[in-house]
Amino acid sequence: MSVVETQPRALQRFDIDDPFEGVMAAIDADGSAIVERFLSPDLLARLNAELDARIEAKAPGAAAASERMAWFWGRQTKRFTRIAAFAPSFAELLDHDFMHRWAARELAGDYWLNTGQAMIVGPGQGAQFLHRDISIWPFLEACGHAAPQAMVSCLVALSDFTEAVGATRVVPGSHRWADFHRKPDPAEAVSAVMPAGSAVLYLGKTVHAAGANTTEDEWRRGLHMSFCLGWLTPEEASPLGVPWAIARNYPARVQRMLGYASPVRAGAEDPVNWLVDFEDVRRFLGA
């Protein structure tokens, strides 16, 4: 295990109305940044209200193929996807102009939703192990920092993120490590402490993890949303979770994020994957 001799630098913190270029400079340098007021108070309230019943009904833990994954998902953590199927306000988050401006800057060509996932960390939940989200595509992780940018992510605080409830922990600068196989030292991580409505933004190459919830009765409400390159298989099978009968009522950009369009690679004119009879899937959706 590596030895950390100095205290890691805290994540840079911004307001949603601060200059976009400043936030991007922080993410370029650290792989992550905090943006406060990422959600309006109205959208925050509606998201929480629409998620309440599902959170209440969902049992902690998740069925998994291995003990390691069961531990990774969290035995005292409630997780679920398919959010656009029952929470119309999530479509507004999926259409967030800041996220799309960032994704267009980082990701070459079309992109789509990797996953939209509620992460409700319960009392007594231990810390998640530090990881990079691009590890779901092993060839990208193997390429290290030289790999193309493949994912942009945000973890939105639906309740206040404090150290005690398990605020997300991030290792600044880990997106630029020469050796992606190096095991991160927990002492290298800093906590994304932030008020409800804020978001911690990070790249798919950035090492991070959920912190430990050391409280007796507080649940940390978070909502993860990430976009990935259109030629990568997303983590979430969105068209199965959000059928066209629901998605058809959302804006076209949201429909594209949910997989109801064929992505075009950088420098190309026509899509070459996610097709029907070699044509864009949008031609087969009907009115």
pLDDT score recorded for residue 120: 98
- Give pLDDT tens digits for 154-181: 999 999 999 999 999 999 999 999 999 9
Of 18-27, 37-46, 60-69, 144-153, the poorest mean pLDDT is in 60-69
Contacts of residue 237, Cβ cutoff 8 Å, sequence gap at least 6: none
- At residue 1, the pLDDT reads 41
pLDDT at 287 over 80: no
**CB distance 17 to 40 below 8 Å:** no
pLDDT reading at 267 higher than 50 = yes
pLDDT score of 264: 97
Averaged pLDDT score across all residues of the chain: 95
Domain ranges of the chain: 13-284
Note whether 213 and 78 are within 8 A (CB). Answer: no
- Distance (Å, rounded) from C-alpha 65 to C-alpha 178? 32
* pLDDT given for residue 208 in this prediction: 98
CATH of 13-284, one of 3.30.950.10, 2.40.420.20, 2.60.120.620, 1.10.443.10: 2.60.120.620
pLDDT category of residue 6 using cuts at 50, 70 and 90 = low
In this structure, of 55-64, 98-107, 212-221, the range with the lowest mean pLDDT score is 55-64
Type of residue numbered 52? D
pLDDT exceeds cutoff 90 at 38: yes
Mean pLDDT of 128-138: 96
The share of the chain scoring above pLDDT 90, in percent, equals: 91
Q: For the chain, give the number of residues.
A: 287
In single-letter form, the type of residue at position 277 comes to: D
What is the H or E stretch that residue 42 is in? helix 41-57
Residue whose tokens read 């999926």? 94
- 98 CB-contact burial (10 Å; exposed 0-12 / middle 13-18 / buried 19+): middle
Report the distance separating Cα 222 and Cα 228, nearest Å: 20
Among 103, 94, 117, 101, smallest CA distance to 150 is for 103
Q: What is the DSSP string of 184-223?
A: PPGGG-EE--B-TT-EEEEETTS-EE------SS--EEEE
pTM, two decimals, is: 0.95
Q: What is the pLDDT of residue 66?
A: 80
pLDDT of 175 reads 97
pLDDT at residue number 67: 79
Distance between CA atoms of 23 and 209, rounded to whole angstroms?
21
